[in-house]
Structure formats: C-alpha cells, structure tokens
C-alpha cells in the first residue's frame, strides 16, 4: 500500500468509531457502509471496537452496581435519628434522583429509545416490502435455487427450517438501497419472509447493535407485523411475519 493509499485508508479507519456510535451524517454513513462491504481491515476494526465498547459497558454496569451496594450499606450505618432528621430535607430530592435512575435503567434494559420508536430504516423497508408482497403473488424472479442467489448477491444465505415450514422461493431485492435477499416461507398457513442483508447494513443502527449485544437478537413490532433479527456470517437476517416473535425466532436453525 502506497503512502497516499495508506493516508486515505487511515481516514476511513478514523470514521469507524463515529459510525459505530451512529454519529455520522446520512451521506457519510452510507459511504462508510459501502466501504465496509469492501474493506476487511475496517470490518475487523469495527468488530474490535464493538467488543471493546461492550466490555466497557459491562465494567460500567459493574461499577454502578458496586456503588449502589456501598450506598445502601452506608445508609444502614447512619444512626436512625440522623436518618429521620434528614428525611424532610432530602426526601423529595432522593425520590427525584431515584426516578431519574429508574428511567435510565429502564432504557438500558430495553425500553425503546427515541430513535427506535421512530423505527430502524432497514426494518421499515423490510416491513413495507413484506406488506406489498402479502397483497399479491411472489415476484416473477422467485426461484428455488438459494445457492445461485447467494452467489449472485455475495451474501451467505442460511434458510429457515423446522416442522411445518414450507419454502416458497427466493429472489433479490433491496433494503435501504443496498442489495438484499428475500426468502419466503409458508408457516402455519401464513407467509413469512426472511430478508438477508450485509453485516454493515444490519449493524448500522445503534439500537440494533445494542439489542444484539444484550440478548443476541433484535425484536420490533410495526402494526400487525413482528420482526426478529439476528446476525449471521458477515450478514444479518430479518424475519417478518404476522406471528409472535417467539414463533418467528424458533424458525432459526
């Protein structure tokens, strides 16, 4: 790699952290997502920084737990008379602080953030495509050859399975303007569609990354449709259907 190429690539590496924290503008975010699909070095840096961020979050949570335990212990050691005397002055402030902490904890444990309430664009596109599909027949390019579609899109496709699952066909589509694969199934007399996207697109939003880090899957509801997402080998799957999330997740092999 020449000095010029190395300098250009260093600029891409500097964008990994703001990309991970969803701090880039729309055009810069899209450019970085496109670059990640081609650059293994930047993907490795993204994975490294993601692991470090999860580790730091775990350490911070441990420190908060230890601090809370110490505070409770100190409270037990304060003489009862002192605690009673202090209550009129600090009681309301303590309740206010507790309420703020409870809200923060609820957000950490998975209540939707503002961005997630607005919906992840990738997920909105998948549900919109699903709704359009559910009103008609499968696209004319639908095929049973999953391997050929995988080669065409350069995406690893891992089809769903399990008792009562009937594969209907697969075809190329697009989510957020990026190539994706759609695999349709019949499950309990209902249509379920699995959308497979590139890893950079799947992990593009902080709400998705945080959900995967916490529980290994991303779950959302848009109207009557449930969406369950999980990462794969350099890709991610979004399964959309009018079934409970637990029923959609059980289709994962």
> By the 8 A CB rule, do 138 and 214 touch?
no
3-class SS of residue 187: strand
| pLDDT of 194 | 97
pLDDT value of position 75: 57
Q: What angle do CA 196, 200, 203 make, to 5 degrees?
A: 85
Which whole number is the average pLDDT over 144-167?
94
The overall average pLDDT reported for the chain is 79
Q: List, in order, residues 6 or more apart from 127 with CB less than 8 Å away.
A: 222, 223, 225, 227, 240
Residue 84 CA to residue 89 CA, distance in Å, equals: 10
d(CA 233, CA 91): 53
Residue 71: pLDDT above 50? yes
What structural domains and CATH numbers belong to the chain?
1-77 (no CATH), 114-249 (3.30.200.100)
For the chain, give the percent of residues with pLDDT over 90. 39
Nearest to 218 by CA among 204, 231, 208: 208
Answer with the residue of higher pLDDT: 114 or 63: 63
- Give the model's pLDDT for residue 7: 61
């Amino acid at each position: 790699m020449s000095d010029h190429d190395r300098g250009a690539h260093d600029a891409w590496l500097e964008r990994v952290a703001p990309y991970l924290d969803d701090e880039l503008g729309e055009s810069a975010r899209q450019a970085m997502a496109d670059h990640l699909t081609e650059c293994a070095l930047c993907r490795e840096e993204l994975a490294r920084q993601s692991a470090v961020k999860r580790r730091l979050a775990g350490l911070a949570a441990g420190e908060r737990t230890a601090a809370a335990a110490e505070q409770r212990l100190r409270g037990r050691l304060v003489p009862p008379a002192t605690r009673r005397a202090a209550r009129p002055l600090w009681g309301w402030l303590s309740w206010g602080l507790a309420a703020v902490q409870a809200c923060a904890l609820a957000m950490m444990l998975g209540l939707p953030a503002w961005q997630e309430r607005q919906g992840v664009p990738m997920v909105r596109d998948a549900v919109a495509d699903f709704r359009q599909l559910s009103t008609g027949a499968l696209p004319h390019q639908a095929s049973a050859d999953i391997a050929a579609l995988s080669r065409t899109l350069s995406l690893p496709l891992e089809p769903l399975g399990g008792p009562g699952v009937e594969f209907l066909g697969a075809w190329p589509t697009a989510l957020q303007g990026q190539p994706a694969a759609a695999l349709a199934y019949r499950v309990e007399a209902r249509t379920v569609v699995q959308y497979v996207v590139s890893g950079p697109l799947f992990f593009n939003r902080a709400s998705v990354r945080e959900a995967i880090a916490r529980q290994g899957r991303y779950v959302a509801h848009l109207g009557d449709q449930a969406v369950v997402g999980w990462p794969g080998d350099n890709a991610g799957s979004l399964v959309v259907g009018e079934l409970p999330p637990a029923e959609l997740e059980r289709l994962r092999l």
